[in-house]
Amino acid sequence: MRDIGIGLIGTGFMGHAHAQAFHHAASSFALPVRPRLVALADADPERAARCADAWGFTRSCDWERLIADPQVELVAITTPNLLHAPMALAALAAGKAVYCEKPLAVSLEEATRMRNAARQAGVVNRVGYNYLQNPMLKQARELIDSGELGEIVSFNGEFSEDFMGDPQGPFTWRCETRQAGGALADLGSHILSLARFLLGPVAALCADLHTAHGQRPHQGGPRAVEIDDQAHLLLRFANGARGTLTTSWLKHGRKNRLAFEVCGTRGTLSFDQERLNELRLYQVGDRPGLAGFRTLLAGPNLPDYAAFCPAPGHQLGYNELKTLEVRSLLEALGGNPGHTGVDFQEAWEVERLAQAARQSAQEERWVRL
């Protein structure tokens, strides 16, 4: 086993999640490479130094030095969306593998540049769609692919939270088009990726994007909000299924409602990330009086679950999903093609869907892909 040097940019919630995941992956799995936490960067040098010490990094520095450091072989990017492209492009130009949080970029043009640069560099690249690492979602896809639900008829998906629900909540970088992309980019990218994960390509869509709170308080007075607070999409999948998709960061009481229902000719499957260790399955043919949804619980029969707990019903959490994503990344870096994740190409496909939704909303029409 050889060491692989990790450079992490960003010390917020996601930066901490990445740091923990590198530690946990190394202790939970027999990996072909061993992560060595080399350098940590942040816009605040003092915070970078504190976090580097607390999280087990050898040193802290600015992000340019981190990318140039010959000991750093993988650059993990957990910064605000605006910085994803310049940092990833610099790392790829230096021949470094890149692990970037979602969404890939703030525009399809930037995402295209990043995808093309990753192709040219020929290095391992991954994007942080860790919800897809949930063993229960993999089981859901197996049930769908095996025909357990029959011919798939419809997909209904939602990702809603409430962290922007207060109309008097302050104006932040999330409210600017050049820095973010609204609820559609921040949350919607996850449910778009999940729709593709379960049912495959989307052939056409029609969207309505809405800004509910047109201005928010700011130090210099109220500022206009440039992005969407919620989005509603109609979908036509390439396999013939129809779908709906909604996303909002205004829905009070919803903390992480990444949810779906897939309906087929022989049954229905449903899931909610707030209960991430459960699938709900209804199958046609149950005896009268006994028909209804049954709950499938995560347990050690699912290999990725078993790595953390030997008993069913004890449950995995968000950080375990991030650990599973990092495990897949490290396997790929070790040359194991059997472990895949969302790479820049697949993340570009999600960005293409988001851009089509914005075009559809602006032009008030269906858009084919």
CA atoms within 13 A on the CB side of 27: 8
CA distance 105 to 88: 10
CA distance 246 to 231: 6
> What is the per-residue burial (b if ≥16 Cβ within 10 Å, else e) of 50-69?
ebbeebebebbbebeebbeb
Place of tokens 């990702």: 159
Give the pLDDT of residue 105: 95
CA distance 341 to 350: 14
Per-residue pLDDT tens, the chain, 369 aa: give them.
Answer: 799 999 999 999 999 999 999 999 999 999 999 999 999 999 999 999 999 999 999 999 999 999 999 999 999 999 999 999 999 999 999 999 999 999 999 999 999 999 999 999 999 999 999 999 999 999 999 999 999 999 999 999 999 999 999 999 999 988 988 888 899 999 999 999 999 999 999 999 999 999 999 999 999 899 999 899 999 999 999 999 999 999 999 999 999 999 999 999 999 999 999 999 999 999 998 777 778 999 999 999 998 999 999 999 899 999 999 999 999 999 999 998 777 789 999 999 999 999 999 999 999 999 999
What is the bridge-based pairing of β-strands 33-41 and 2-9?
parallel
Give the pLDDT of residue 364: 98
- Joined together, the tokens standing for residue 229 give 């607070």
Amino acid found at 95:
G
Q: Mind spelling out the 3-state secondary structure of 67-85?
A: HHCCCCCEEEECCCHHHHH
pTM, full prediction: 0.95
Which residue spans within the chain are E strands per DSSP? 2-9, 33-41, 59-61, 74-77, 97-101, 125-128, 152-160, 202-210, 215-216, 223-224, 230-237, 242-248, 257-264, 267-272, 278-283, 294-297, 367-368
- Give SS3 for 357: helix
Three-point CA angle 89, 91, 96, nearest 5°? 130
Angle between helices 189-199 and 135-145 (to 10 degrees): 40
In 186-267, where does DSSP find H-type helix?
189-199
Give the pLDDT of residue 337: 74
Q: Which of 139, 21, 149 is nearest to 74 (CA)?
A: 21
Give the pLDDT of residue 285: 86
All domains of the chain, ordered by start, with CATH?
A: 2-131 (3.40.50.720), 135-275+277-315 (3.30.360.10)
Give the pLDDT of residue 291: 83
What is the bridge-based pairing of β-strands 242-248 and 230-237?
antiparallel
